[in-house]
Amino acid sequence: MEEQLASITKTLNEIKSTQNKLIQSFNDQNKTIKNFNNRFDDLLNQIKKITDENILLNNKVSQLELKIKNFEQNTTSTSNTTHFDIINEIADRQSRINNIILFNLPEPTETKPDSDQIKLILDEMELKIQPVRYFRLGNPSSRTRPLKITFNDTKNVFDILRAQSKIRSSNQFKEIRFSSDRTMKQREQMSKLRQELESRRNNGEQNIIIKYIKGNPTIINNPKN
């Protein structure tokens, strides 16, 4: 009887020990699963973070590509416009190269037509040249209109510009003046240059003038002073 009781007790202890081992193993498994879940959650968070960063990076790349495309389009457009403007400016200057503009010559009358006045002025300047054509600029008004005169040779234009000082002492023609036939850009350039000349003179630079150097107006020191 005692031996049977001891055997049963031993068996129960073995069962209890096995049960404890199973419980411990189950707890270990739960712990392992929990750790795995935690690691899985961390991995999901990292994947989500990488995905969000990738979306942000793609957006930045798209914006950069758009800026580059717009820049290239604007650069091409600006370049084409610049080339077009340069070609037009060259053509415009070439079409005006044989022209000269005469200012302050009184409007023509039956007794004093422009043709006679032009001849008298050229004679006064001691120039033996004849214009190809001439016409007044603008519509008749109370103001004296400039007179555009065209010659066969560009040299005629330079000869007139150099010789116009000869008529400054003339009572009849002392108010008139000549100018080359400038394009809009040339007129804008000359206007800015005159403003600069006035500003520099107001600041004390009196010994300066505007002179054409290789066809371009430039502010220089007056060599006559």
Coil/strand/helix, residue 108: coil
pLDDT tens-digit readout, 169-185: 888 888 999 999 988 98
- With a cut of 90, say whether residue 101 has pLDDT above it: yes
Q: Cβ atoms within 10 A of the Cβ of 42, count? A: 10
Where is 150: in which H helix or E strand?
strand 147-150
Whole-structure pTM value? 0.57
Write down the H helix ranges in 97-143.
114-124
pLDDT tens-digit readout, 33-58: 777 677 767 777 887 777 777 787 77
For the ranges 1-5, 89-93, 95-99, the lowest mean pLDDT is seen at 1-5
pLDDT tens-digit readout, 118-128: 999 999 999 99
- With a cut of 70, say whether residue 90 has pLDDT above it: yes
DSSP-derived secondary structure for 28-63: HHHHHHHHHHHHHHHHHHHHHHHHHHHHHHHHHHHH
pLDDT at 76: 56
DSSP 8-state code for residue 165: G
pLDDT at 46: 81
Distance CA 13, CA 182 (A): 120
